[in-house]
Structure 1
Amino acid sequence: MTTFTVWKFDEPDHAERAASILEHAAGEGLVTIIDRAVVVWPKGASKPETHHEHESTWRHTGWGAFWGIVVGGLFFVPVVGGAVGAGIGALVKATEGTGINRDQLERIRTEVTEGTSALFLVTDHGDLDRLGERFRGLHQKLIATNLTEQEREILLETFGR
């Protein structure tokens, strides 16, 4: 089953460490990584930094656009008054049909703050419980959604192929 997950960490460097653990888990067959991005929000910074890595350059552009839409919509739109709702609304529209809903987006926006980090993943055939065990000690919180076959196809057709 394809899953969009966000692992939120209480320290700015923990998502990068988790990404390394993720690579090892993928090498052992625990999970298949479709794509990933790391968001790091150092203490004292006004905005987070995003690191997107993908082994296949021909697919990089589509997933780069996906992470740009999601991360940009969550963290780089104005954060006052009605602009927050409008920004989330635009993001919900942009990700329509992908299984990523308003509640999840709002939860990510409120939980990933200055001094934290997050590992954003699109995975296939993964055991999230066992993966979470590998992240033990990194003070993580999981925000996940299992995608239906139709949502998976929309996500992959729009961003991953």
Structure 2
Amino acid sequence: MSDLIVIVYPTEEKAEEVRNRLLELQKEYLIKLGDAVIATKSESGKIKLNQLMNTTVAGAATGSFWGLLIGVLFLNPLLGVAVGAASGAIGGALTDVGIDDAFMKDLASNLQPGNGALFLLVQEMTSDKVLKDIAHFGGVVLKTSLDETKEQVLRDALQKASTA
């Protein structure tokens, strides 16, 4: 089962820095992320989601490949690529993997303009090592699905960095 963790940072850049560090820790097999999205709120109140994977582009690329293959079989590869890319892009745009976009936008509406909220869907984690590594970034826990003990450990670690 995956756990949801949402941490608010003073800037989008700080949230991006933490996400990049977590991706490095993933390469070290200390954490396994299902999704990592940064949400920001502009001065006008518009919510922007900075996602790791663009499903529209991925769908278009996959669709192009299959369209080309089918087009070659039926002697019209260019039409196959075009139809495949279009259908793949539509399918990718309609696919929502990871954390629900509507949920993130709803939660991010409570942000102050300029802040960055890091939404993490954690599948597995070596808690003590990961927390030790990211605690110095600070941040404020907005929401988690962790049990109360683990959530308090996370809050305390981030609080120490904020006050230091």
The TM-score range, normalised by the shorter chain, is 0.5 to 0.7
Q: How does 1:3-152 map to 2 (within 5 A)?
A: 3-41=3-41, 44-54=43-53, 57=58, 61-63=95-97, 66-75=99-108, 109=110, 112-142=111-141, 143-146=143-146
User: Hey, what's the Cα distance between the residues in 1 that align with 2:33 and 2:126?
Assistant: 12
Q: Which residues of structure 2 form unaligned runs of 5+?
A: 60-90, 148-164
How far off its partner does 1:37 sit? 1.0
State the SS of the aligned residue for 1:63. coil
Question: For 1:91-132, what per-residue CA distance to the aligned partner results, in whole angstroms no more than 9, with x for missing partners?
Answer: xxxxxxxxxxxxxxxxxx3xx322311110111111344323
8 Å CA contact 1:16, 1:38 repeated in 2? yes
Which structure features the higher share of helix residues? 2
Which residue matches 1:85?
none
State the SS of the aligned residue for 2:145. strand
One-letter amino acid matched to 1:51: N
Which residue matches 1:80?
none
Q: CA RMSD in A?
A: 2.9
Normalising by structure 2, we get a TM-score of 0.55
1:146 to 1:75, Cα distance in 2 relative to 1, 3 A: closer
User: Hey, what's the Cα distance between the residues in 2 that align with 1:23 and 1:7?
Assistant: 16
Normalising by structure 1, we get a TM-score of 0.56
8 Å CA contact 1:13, 1:40 repeated in 2? no
Find the structure with the greater CA-based Rg: 2
User: Hey, what's the Cα distance between the residues in 1 that align with 2:122 and 2:49?
Assistant: 19
Quick one: higher RCO (CA 8 Å, sep 6+), 1 or 2?
A: 1
1:14 to 1:63, Cα distance in 2 relative to 1, 3 A: same
Q: Which residues of structure 1 form unaligned runs of 5+?
A: 77-108, 148-161
User: Hey, what's the Cα distance between the residues in 2 that align with 1:52 and 1:16?
Assistant: 11
User: Hey, what's the Cα distance between the residues in 2 that align with 1:115 and 1:55?
Assistant: 23
State the SS of the aligned residue for 2:136. coil
User: Hey, what's the Cα distance between the residues in 2 that align with 1:41 and 1:135?
Assistant: 23
1:123 to 1:69, Cα distance in 2 relative to 1, 3 A: same
Q: Which moved more, 1:66-75 or 1:7-16?
A: 66-75
Question: For 1:2-57, what per-residue CA distance to the aligned partner results, in whole angstroms no more than 9, with x for missing partners?
Answer: 21111211223111111100110100011111112111335x45233211113884
